[in-house]
Amino acid sequence: MTESLAHDDFAQEPMFTVYAEGPSLLRLSGELDVESARTLTSALEPLTRRGGTIRIDVADLTFIDSNGLNVLCTAARDVGERGHVVVLHATPPVRRIIEITGVAELFAINGVEQRPGR
């Protein structure tokens, strides 16, 4: 089952959408910024409470700012030792923001565990 949580009441098409696919996969689409971060936070909260592997597909993410990145970091910290966050299909710009901000070790990016200094 796919569930959509849309953001942006002013546009005809949502600028940011979270699709929940299965019990632990979220597919993000559009711009993840200060306005849309709440939508992702709401979608991630039950997953981080449950623990386990949380997969986030960012292939259709066109933009991510520090607020969006903070939501991903918070999810990784909240799940802690009870699981981990996997960022799937990270485009070069998304991968770059994760790496230059120094938070890559919090995630498995494209299914590969990140290590400091890598």
Question: Where are the domains positioned within the chain?
Answer: 2-113
Beta strands in 8-101 (DSSP E): 16-21, 25-32, 52-64, 83-88
Burial of 94 (0-12, 13-18, 19+ CB in 10 A): buried
The pLDDT value given to residue 4: 54
Report whether pLDDT(10) > 90: no
- What lies within 8 Å, CB to CB, of 43 at 6+ separation is 5, 18, 20, 26
**How confident is the model over 57-74, as a mean pLDDT?**
95
The pLDDT value given to residue 1: 45
CATH class of 2-113: alpha beta
The pLDDT value given to residue 22: 86
The pLDDT value given to residue 29: 96
Written as six digits, the tokens of 93 are 């710009």
Give the tens place of pLDDT for each residue, 11-54.
455 699 999 998 899 999 999 999 999 999 999 999 999 999 99
* Higher-pLDDT residue of 115, 95: 95
CA distances from 22 to 9, 33, 76, 87 (A): 26, 24, 19, 16
Whole-structure pTM value: 0.82
Percent of the chain whose predicted confidence (pLDDT) is above 70? 81
